[in-house]
Amino acid sequence: MSTTRIAGTGLTRFGVHEGRSGRDLFAEAGLAALADAGISPEAIEEVYYGNFIGELAEEQGHQGPLMADAIGVAAPTRRLEGACASSGLAVRDAVRAIEAGQTDVAVVGGMERLTNMGTTAVTGGLATAADAVYEGQAGVTFPGAYALMARAYIEAYGGSKTDLAHIAVKNHANAAANPDAHYQHEITVEEALEAPIVASPLGLYDACPISDGAAALVLVSERFAESHGLEAPTAITGSGAGSDRLALQDRASMTYTPATESAATEAYAAAGITSQDVDLAEVHDCFTIAEVLALESLGFIERGEGMGLARDGVTTRGGRLPVNLSGGLKAKGHPVGATGAAQVVAVARLLAGTHPNASAVPNARVGLAHNAGGTVATATVHIVEVIE
């Protein structure tokens, strides 16, 4: 089995890109990743591309060949879709092809353009990640679905809106130092608590923004990295995926996410590590409660014990396990199809010392990226390590 090396990374800033098309966004990120890797488009053998609702946002399906063409690549391509986990799935399947020796060099990434749609259309579009018949037609949108999970969690285990506010405060503080983030301002616990309620108990600052953006990586086999003398200081040493029933009502529990646990178990085993070996993590915090559920399902803490980790400084910059140093979906932004790839970009840059917040984790060797779709009916986990 060949280890998958990260040869290059590229991002657009996440935020509102008025007047720019999806292909323009992906071209920026993809060409940046190729330049970072020092690899020409002609060398690329496969493209794994994630996008969620391009048909709705830009009347553009079939984006695989479009995005490959936008960066000058003529290789076979496919679009992966798993709602907000679309480009986590793209990373996943690219890593498998490289590990198998089927591909030596791939572009992996994702893009979403949302702010051009208008708020009502975006909310409706994002809701297509839920069960259209049993959730969507009953009026469930994602703030509501995650509010149900937050209420169930608090009822089962306790915790407060203040605990959740600390997660938002932490992620805003991290994003404030990240020029690629959608939001670059800090907030206080008081501001979070006083913000308008979106879906009780979740307020405005418990929710991630609607963002445009793109992310890309150049992934290569160890053999390719060595034969081409590439600087590729990090590797994806473990990959895992998990699924769950789509509709919340069909789940055994609303306070735990088994898809994440399955993905993590597989990824840890592949990397030969446990959760305790992880030095930093980017987790899927589309809402503050989602960060709590993720940290528990990833095995960083027991079930029911995750609510206070930001409040207690465990997951803050300087804590034992810094989480979402990029700012997370919460403050870095959430251009849906780009998110999973962007998380891996952030982890790679944090470990390589090239991320604006890398100074917070000078000795980190092992990072984790966790991407989730819908109310975690799809999850991927990737372990990134510094090459010795």
- Binding positions for a second copy, rule: CB under 8 A: 21, 23, 47, 52-56, 58-62, 64-66, 68-69, 74-83, 89, 92-93, 96-97, 99-102, 124-125, 127-133, 136, 241-246, 250, 262-263, 373-374, 377-378
Question: Cβ 342 to a second copy, closest distance in Å?
Answer: 18
Cβ-based nearer residue to a second copy, 39 or 165: 39
For the CB of residue 149, give the shortest distance to a second copy in the complex, in Å: 16
Q: What is the distance between the alpha carbons of residues 37 and 157, in angstroms, rounded to a whole number?
A: 46
Name the residue type at position 22.
Answer: G
Q: Cis peptide leading into 209, omega within 30 of 0?
A: no
- Residue 213 phi, psi dihedral angles, 5° rounding: 165, 170
Own/partner long-range contacts of 115-121 (Cβ < 8 Å, ≥24 apart): 115/16, 115/17, 115/18, 115/210, 115/211, 115/212, 116/18, 116/57, 116/58, 116/212, 117/56, 117/57, 119/210, 121/56
CA dihedral 388, 342, 298, 155 (to 10 degrees): 160
Distance in Å, CB of 99 to a second copy, minimum: 7
Q: Which amino acid is at 385?
A: E
Minimum Å distance from CB 163 to a second copy?
29
Nearest to residue 108, comparing CAs of 36, 176, 30?
Answer: 30
Considering the complex, state which of residue 35 and residue 100 has its C-beta at the smaller distance from a second copy.
100
Between CA 89 and CA 83 the distance in angstroms is 10
Distance CA 71, CA 333 (A): 24
In whole angstroms, how close is the CB of 344 to a second copy at the nearest point?
A: 17
Nearest distance in Å: CB 207, a second copy: 19
User: Catalytic residues, which ones?
Assistant: 84, 334
DSSP state of 326: T
11, 214 in Cβ contact below 8 A? yes
149 close to 164: Cβ distance less than 8 angstroms: no
Nearer to a second copy by C-beta: 78 or 228? 78
Report, in Å, the least distance between residue 200 CB and a second copy. Answer: 25
Which residue's structure tokens are 């990434």?
A: 109
Q: How far apart are CA 21 and CA 1, in angstroms?
A: 39
Is there a contact between 289 and 171 (Cβ–Cβ < 8 Å)?
no
- CB contact at 8 A, 267 and 382: yes
* Residue showing tokens 């209420």: 151
